Structure 1
Amino acid sequence: MRKTEKLTSADLRQFTGTTQWFRHSLMRSITYTDGVQFLAEMGGAYWLVDKVATLQLEPKVRAEEFQSWKLKVNDDRTAVLTCDDGNHNIIHSEVIEFTDFPLDQVELWVEGNVILLPSEH
């Protein structure tokens, strides 16, 4: 695969399941789907996958069986990454000082030890 000029939300919606599981290189108990691999590679977002995976070490985050992670990119290229429990109760939030992530926003879910796109559920 080659990095595209511009990753789109439509590119991500094509993923409705997974045929291959990817094991996170640092957090070996975490796996992720084809769609997340595509997002990481085409969107230059391995850092985002790493962030979601390593934050599983935080007790408050790890305690949630289901997590909804949202990255919202601002016009000045800062971003906010939040995690909630699926009922809009914020578990984690942080400001990203700079990102070149190509989408205005993206959502990832964590179910158990799996990171996936919502369309892959």
Structure 2
Amino acid sequence: MSATLADAQPETITGATLAQFIGTTRYYRYTMGLILTDGAAYLVRNGAAWLLDIVASARLVPAVRRAEFECWTLRVDLTKHCAEVVCTDGNGEREANILYRQPVGYTDFPLAELKLYVVADSDPGKVVMLASEY
């Protein structure tokens, strides 16, 4: 069921490349009980492991840990090279729906926005996927 995240020469992350992930052929065990799809593993292999580390560290927040569904949004200011990561319960970004928020002081992430979904699985863990893989 699981494979390793082998080190390889990183590629530049593009919207077109991410859009090609529409399902998964393998699952990759990550940290804090997270399981990554092919698309999420691609992010890790290509310089965005820090984003998945934020998702993993948020497992310590009770509201996030209890959520059956998490919608993670990374919004990047491409001119200032800073960002914000917001996790909601999937019902919009009203304050009542926000489970976690974290500023990112510096990033070279190349896209203005990225969405990840995290869903509870029957396995003891949660599956992290690109929105296109949902």
Q: TM-score when scaled to structure 2?
A: 0.82
Q: Which has the larger radius of gyration?
A: 2
- Is residue 12 from structure 1 mapped to residue 18 from structure 2 by the alignment? yes
Which residue in the other structure is 1:21 paired with? 27
- Partner deviation per Cα, 1:24-81 (whole Å, 9 max, x = no partner): 1x31x21010001112222x11111111012112101112110000111112011010
- Distance in 1 separating the partners of 2:56 and 2:115: 14
Root mean square deviation, CA, Å: 1.2
Query: Structure 2: any 5+ residue segments left out of the alignment?
Result: 1-7, 121-125
Structure 1 ranges of 4+ moved more than 4 A: none
1:94 to 2:94 alignment: no
Residue number among 110, 117, 121 corresponding to 2:130 in the alignment:
117
Residue 3 of structure 1 corresponds to which residue in structure 2? 10
For 2:67, which of 64, 67, 72 is the aligned residue?
64
Match of 1:73 in 2: 76
- Unaligned runs of 5+ residues in structure 1 are none
Count how many residue pairs are aligned between Structure 1 and Structure 2: 117
CA distance in 1, matches of 2:130, 2:59: 17
The residue number in structure 2 matching 1:37 is: 41
TM-score using structure 1 length: 0.90
Kindly state the Cα deviation for residue 17 of structure 1 after the two structures are TM-superposed.
0.9
